[in-house]
């Protein structure tokens, strides 16, 4: 059964890719008032955020396009203060070397192990803190953008090995997410997690380290082919002396190269900020950012004409992210028929989307976090500096089976079952892991009370009473594309049952409708956004 589903899914993906060829006339021009339909509102909520309930879609539609886009571009404020992760206090102070010197070798080893365990527990706390925000923040579009920037400006917990730094980076990405791209680039360059991850904290005049400079040019701003090896070397020299201490970023003048550098055809005694300013003068930078944002929000392989058009918008807005996304979320390109259902949901989009569509609390955060890893997306640990490949790489026979089970477990009110299975697969059900879980804070283990199963009868509106209406209601609510008629008819027959007259109040009807929802979430169409 699963192999047949997987085969059909991959066939559907090939069709979706073929259908993603661009129709004439797709552009950055704003849609008309008449084009702002209920389905357009649902599309905006799915793409800019993670989707929502039918009631939320309805409110978004009735409020109009201006209010809808503005709501997607809000920043969290003082009205939202989720519990902070329980970072072990031992990590907030550096190890006392004088004290360590008077300890025996065994005592020093014991202290080191204690600190390492505290770090592992605290890193898990930070991951679950972010997962809690993704699932429950009243600003889901903000969290979606943080997820984008996290995949763009990659850092991994196993390389950084510092919970405080990873939390710091996540908060920095959130605070700068909707600001100016220049400010974000500078903040990323000074971020302690990034300084560790790409070795720029070890970049000094006498021995320049090129890792950060190379990724800044290749993966963050310009892309391959738009700079030379000489530009990499010059940029590395410009960032020498950038480091950190216990309090944050520091600039060490004695380790900075103040000599003249030639970078992207310009000569001067450039420092890191000035290198970023030079990068931003290049059209290739706006085109690179345009392509990345379009690939995340609009379509997997945006055409050059659309990339160039959105790049013009970005430059016109002087790299202001909020203003640029405002234009994107109003554009014909965003709502075009060819842009519907052409993106494969990432594991995070799949899980968080289900949480928000069915309005179910994500209670077992640890199990959910392990489930994400089992589907191929471990938060705060992209596979490499390029981030997650995404797209069709999310899908294979194993991950498709996992994707179905995760959503199905959520609908049954049991995400812990999926989490336990993925922990076992990863070899994580051991004494050390169990001990770490037992010492986690209550906030991490329980986010919002007891798990609950999805109750479809509470979701159905008064006018939705027949099997046909019920199937159409959920197809419209859950899928970005239409359902083939043969599937629709099969689902209608299933909901109707074999007892003759259909009634919402009849025994077993609620369970059949819940199973209908599970079947829909197991379709290839549900994997698309």
Q: Residues 473, 497: one domain?
A: yes
Q: Are 232 and 217 in contact (CB under 8 A)?
A: yes
Residues 298-328 have pLDDT tens digits of: 999 999 999 999 999 999 999 999 999 999 9
- Tell me the two tokens of residue 125: 């706390």
Last residue in a domain, options 401, 421, 454? 454
- Give the phi and the psi of residue 470 in degrees, each rounded to 5: -65, -45
pLDDT given at position 353: 98
108 within some domain: no
- CA 280 vs. chain centroid, Å, equals 25
Q: Residues 448, 519: one domain?
A: no
Q: Residues 467, 521: one domain?
A: yes
pLDDT given at position 100: 61
221 within some domain: no
Helix (H) / strand (E) containing 7:
helix 2-19
290 within some domain: no
Distance CA 174, CA 12 (A): 35
Domain count of the fold of the chain: 2
Distance CA 464, CA 353 (A): 23
- Tell me the two tokens of residue 382: 């992209």
Distances (CA, A) of 459 to 61, 359, 473, 515: 18, 10, 10, 14
The DSSP annotation for 135-152 comes to: HH-S-HHHHHHHHHHHHH
The DSSP annotation for 85-147 comes to: P---GGGGS---HHHHHTS-HHHHHHHHHHHHHHHHHHHHHHHHHHHHHHHH-S-HHHHHHHH
The pTM score is 0.91
Q: Residues 435, 356: one domain?
A: yes
Residue numbers in the chain where pLDDT is lower than 70: 1-25, 96-101, 107-108, 415-449
Q: Are 236 and 212 in contact (CB under 8 A)?
A: yes
Q: Residues 450, 461: one domain?
A: no
- HSE at residue 185, side-chain half, CA atoms within 13 A, is 27
Last residue in a domain, options 454, 475, 498? 454
Q: Residues 429, 441: one domain?
A: yes
DSSP β-bridge partners for residue 249: 244
332 within some domain: no
- Give the phi and the psi of residue 340 in degrees, each rounded to 5: -90, 135
Distance CA 31, CA 280 (A): 29
N-terminal to C-terminal alpha carbon distance within the chain: 24
Q: Note down the domain range covering 444.
A: 80-90+114-164+343-454
β-strands 266-268, 248-251: how paired?
A: unpaired
Last residue in a domain, options 454, 477, 495? 454
Q: Residues 382, 442: one domain?
A: yes
328 within some domain: no
- Tell me the two tokens of residue 146: 């943080």
Q: Residues 375, 473: one domain?
A: no
Residues 398-430 have pLDDT tens digits of: 898 899 999 999 999 876 555 565 555 555 554
462 within some domain: yes
Q: Residues 403, 480: one domain?
A: no
pLDDT given at position 16: 43
β-strands 261-263, 242-245: how paired?
A: unpaired
293 within some domain: no
Q: Are 299 and 390 in contact (CB under 8 A)?
A: no
Q: Residues 349, 444: one domain?
A: yes
| CA-based radius of gyration for the chain | 25
pLDDT given at position 452: 87
Q: Residues 419, 467: one domain?
A: no
Q: Residues 473, 447: one domain?
A: no
Would you say the C-alpha torsion 461, 467, 469, 474 has a positive or negative sign? positive
224 within some domain: no
């Amino acid at each position: 059964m699963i192999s047949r589903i997987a085969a059909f899914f991959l066939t559907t993906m090939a069709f979706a890719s073929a259908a993603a060829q661009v129709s004439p006339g797709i552009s950055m021009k704003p849609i008309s008032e008449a084009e702002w339909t209920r389905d357009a509102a649902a599309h905006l909520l799915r793409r800019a955020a993670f989707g929502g309930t039918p009631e939320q879609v309805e409110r978004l539609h009735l409020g109009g396009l201006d209010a809808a886009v503005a709501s997607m571009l809000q920043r969290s404020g003082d009205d939202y203060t989720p519990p902070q992760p329980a970072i072990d206090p031992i990590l907030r102070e550096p190890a006392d070397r004088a004290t360590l010197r008077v300890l025996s070798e065994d005592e020093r080893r014991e202290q080191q192990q204690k600190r390492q365990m505290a770090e592992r527990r605290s890193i898990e706390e930070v991951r679950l803190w972010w997962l809690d925000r993704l699932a429950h923040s009243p600003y889901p579009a903000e969290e979606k953008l943080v997820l984008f920037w996290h995949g763009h400006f990659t850092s991994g917990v196993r390389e950084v090995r510092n919970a405080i730094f990873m939390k710091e980076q996540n908060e920095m990405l959130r605070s700068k997410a909707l600001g100016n791209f220049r400010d974000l680039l500078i903040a990323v360059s000074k971020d302690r997690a990034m300084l560790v991850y790409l070795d720029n904290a070890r970049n000094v005049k006498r021995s320049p380290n090129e890792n950060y400079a190379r990724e800044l040019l290749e993966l963050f701003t310009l892309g391959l082919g738009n700079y030379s090896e000489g530009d990499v070397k010059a940029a590395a020299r410009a960032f020498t002396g950038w480091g950190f201490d216990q309090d944050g970023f520091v600039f060490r003048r004695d380790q900075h190269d103040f000599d003249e550098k030639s970078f992207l055809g310009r000569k001067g005694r450039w420092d890191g900020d000035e290198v970023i300013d030079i990068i931003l003068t290049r059209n290739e930078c706006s085109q690179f950012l345009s392509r990345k944002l379009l690939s995340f929000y609009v379509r997997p392989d945006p055409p050059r004409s659309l990339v160039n058009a959105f790049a013009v918008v970005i430059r016109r807005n002087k790299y202001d992210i909020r203003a640029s996304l405002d234009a994107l979320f109003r554009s014909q390109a965003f709502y075009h028929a060819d842009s519907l259902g052409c993106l494969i949901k990432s594991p995070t989009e799949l899980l968080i989307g289900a949480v928000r569509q069915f309005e179910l609390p994500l209670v077992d955060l640890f199990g959910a976090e392990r489930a994400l890893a089992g589907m191929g997306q471990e938060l705060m640990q992209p596979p490499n500096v390029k981030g997650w490949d995404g797209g069709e790489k999310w899908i294979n026979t194993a991950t498709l089976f996992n994707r179905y089970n995760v959503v199905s477990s959520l609908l049954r009110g049991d995400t812990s079952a999926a989490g336990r299975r993925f922990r076992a697969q990863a070899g994580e059900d051991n004494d050390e892991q169990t001990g770490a879980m037992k010492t986690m804070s209550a906030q991490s283990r329980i986010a919002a009370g007891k798990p609950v199963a999805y109750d479809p009868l509470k979701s159905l509106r008064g006018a939705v009473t027949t099997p046909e209406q019920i199937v159409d209601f959920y197809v419209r609510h859950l899928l970005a594309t239409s359902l083939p008629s043969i599937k629709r008819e099969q689902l209608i027959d299933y909901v109707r049952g074999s007892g003759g007259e259909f009634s919402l109040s009849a025994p077993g009807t609620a369970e059949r409708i819940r199973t209908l929802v599970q079947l829909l979430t197991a379709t290839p169409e549900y994997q698309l956004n």
